[in-house]
A and B are shown apart, each in its own frame.
Chain A
Amino acid sequence: MKCIVCVKQVPDTSGVVAVKEDGTMDRAAMATITNHDDLAAVEAALRIKDATGCKVVVVSMGPPPAEGMLRELLAMGADEAVLVSAREFGGSDTYATSQILAAAVKKIGVEDDDIIFCGRQAIDGDTAQVGPQIAEKLHLPQVSYAAEIKVEGKTVTVKRLLEDGYMTIKVQTPCLITCVKELNTARYMSVGGIMECYQKPLEIYNYETLKDDPLIDVDTIGLKGSPTNVYKSFSPPVKGAGMMMEGADKATVEKLVSILNDKHII
């Protein structure tokens, strides 16, 4: 048995967000982090490893610096890492991204008792589409929004979040599960793990590695193979400044109430 976890390196949108003049994101000017939901997915896989001794493979598509993130995941306890990186893969939307990642997962190999993990959503593109789309490309059953996961042999029981409760779903391996960050608290890298992480295998899959897979085609990968295009991007509006009331006492609130009355707001 093994767990394959798809992990994305993302700009830290909670910190300073740099927008270029043309309305696109200045990624180079921003710190990068491991996507939160994906860390939960890695932790879920590592817990299965703790219990069963299975192998954990982490895979990320991105530019070469994403290797640093993969080494950190190896230091947390993952066994192998794959970096999917090629110019041909750049500019992919979720459709094209999932074609490529599905081909990479096939190359790693999906066996009968394997589980593929994704995060629910990446904080930059924010679409939550890649997980289900990889599952479709691999013809695997999917369970998204996992908030609890239990594995018994080849049966995986998942608590899947709804807006107002949850569903409990049983699914057989091989399957794909997308995790929400509330699933668990990810462990830290261990000192031993940091020492070992440079000895663990990290493979690079480029265009040559994957090109023979039928999923990899000019019409299905990269910018050209992406059905969606960005038509325009822009910064969200800031409303014109409103009216600051003077003071913060009884007279202030009474004045406010009379304005609200005049404007028929109350």
Chain B
Amino acid sequence: MAFNSSDTAAFKGVWVFCEQREGVIMSTSYQLLSEGRKLANDLGVELCGVVLGKDIKEDYLKALGGYGADKVYYCNHELLDVYTTDAYTKVICDLVEDKKPEIFLIGATNIGRDLGPRCAARLHTGLTADCTHLDVDVEKYKAFLKTTSTIDVDNTKFEDTKNLKMTRPAFGGHLMATIVCPDYRPQMSTVRPGVMQTAPYNEETAAKTVLERVDVKLDASDIHVDLVEIKKSAKKLVDLVGADVVVSVGRGISSDPKRGIEIAEELANVLGGVVGASRAVVDAGLIAADHQVGQTGKTVHAKIYVALGISGAIQHLAGMQDSECIIAVNKNGSAPIFDVATYGITGDLFKVGPMLTEAIAKYKASKA
């Protein structure tokens, strides 16, 4: 029977595309599986991980069960070792057409955002981009809105369906939109890396995962590009997304950028964290782009986020405002960063920064 994406009743189950690079599953996949598990529970359906690659270690595949996957579809092929749009789109669309999942989540990485739209266009379904929140249950969605919007939730009508409600920032973070795809399946979404929390690894569920090897139909004539090389930047990238503590610097360091970054490094060191930056600092060439926090940088969920000399533009807030404790130092007492700060100090970062480092070092020494 021909595949029909509008026959919504024929689709069942939640899928997560588990991206691998160089044979290693990316951490985004664990975040998505953890989130997918909740959706699958609310729907009472299976959660499946989908891996495309070549000779991926069985341990890695089974480990997906530890983050909630009931089943792992593994597509093994020479031509799936490294990502190409053509090969991945074909294999994924073939599998979707065969198994018919109702929800399909893909990490919004540079690869996921190439693959997702191409698959959605081929399957004739909707794709919501770069989501930061997902719900199927209306009550849970309402609870989410109560804490994150000014909508008068109790006096607003909500259509009570189990459709996936996919929430994402748009217009440069000035607006949040919840998107649905009611008439087509699968309901597809790319999910921003670093936003969903990874659940603790569960040995028991890992042991129960079913590994299904998919019979892949693919040959070289399916691929219309030649991969010449892959180059990684030589420098080790800073792991902002996984960090508990991030100390970020903004344009406030411009009078002495070298000292400013040093101050941030010292504070990050005593707190056991890493250094982040606003885009202004990155654009000025003062620090590498992988340090950038914000809408076009990384999204962090730090336990402590320190903002030194950052004004708090909405695009910066988009990447850090969900941190648990935000400490801001800015010499302008009415800088918007203070609207989201848990603790604010109006002052010069070149003076307050080192004092804070010293006070924390002293405190840590007293506890040791």
Contacts and interface: CB of A to CB of B under 8 A. Distances in A.
Contacts of A247: 347
Given A142-B118, A145-B110, A167-B229, A243 B344 contact: yes
Contact of B338 (A19, A126, A169, A242): A242
Q: 9 smallest A-B Cβ distances: which pairs?
A: A248-B347, A227-B126, A13-B172, A127-B129, A228-B126, A129-B117, A136-B121, A141-B224, A165-B232
B199 interface: no
B114 A132 contact: yes
A234 B345 contact: no
A148 to B, nearest CB: 12
Given A132-B114, A141-B85, A231 B359 contact: no
A230 B303 CA distance: 33
B127 interface: yes
B231 A168 contact: yes
Interface in A138-184: 141-145, 157, 161-172, 175
A133 B359 contact: no
A145 B83 CA distance: 14
Interface in B170-226: 170-184, 224-226
A57 to B, nearest CB: 23
Contact of A265 (B128, B178, B325): B325
Contact of B128 (A23, A123, A170, A228): A228
Nearest to A232: B178
Contacts of B126: 93, 95, 226-228
Contacts of B170: 124-126
Contacts of B304: 260, 265-266
26 contacts: A14-B172, A17-B175, A95-B126, A95-B127, A126-B130, A129-B113, A132-B118, A136-B121, A145-B114, A164-B233, A167-B227, A228-B179, A231-B159, A234-B176, A235-B150, A241-B339, A242-B326, A244-B338, A245-B343, A247-B347, A248-B345, A248-B352, A252-B347, A256-B356, A257-B363, A265-B324
Contact of B171 (A17, A133, A166, A175): A17
Nearest to B125: A227
Q: Is the interface of B mostly helix, strand, loop or mixed?
A: mixed
A242 B344 contact: yes
B100 to A, nearest CB: 16
Contact of B352 (A237, A242, A253, A260): A253
Contacts of B237: 163-164
Interface residues of A, number: 80
Given A132-B121, A248-B346, A94 B127 contact: yes
Contact of A238 (B130, B183, B232, B339): B339
Interface stretch (B46-54, B66-74, B141-149, B251-259): B141-149
Interface of A: 11, 13-14, 17, 19, 23-25, 93-95, 98, 123-133, 135-137, 141-145, 157, 161-172, 175, 220, 226-239, 241-245, 247-250, 252-254, 256-257, 259-261, 263, 265-266
Given A17-B172, A132-B121, A233-B175, A238 B340 contact: yes
A235 B175 contact: yes
B130 A127 contact: yes
B111 interface: yes
A115 to B, nearest CB: 14
Interface of B: 85-86, 89, 109-111, 113-114, 116-118, 120-122, 124-130, 145, 147-151, 159, 165, 169-184, 224-233, 237, 271, 290, 303-304, 314, 318, 321, 324-327, 333, 338-348, 351-352, 355-356, 358-360, 363-364
B178 A133 contact: no
Given A141-B225, A163-B109, A165-B230, A257 B359 contact: yes
A123 B172 contact: yes
Contacts of A171: 224-226
Contact of A144 (B114, B345, B359): B114
Contacts of B116: 129
A163 B116 CA distance: 17
A174 to B, nearest CB: 10
B151 A232 contact: yes
A17 B175 CA distance: 9
A17 B170 CA distance: 12
A161 B230 CA distance: 10
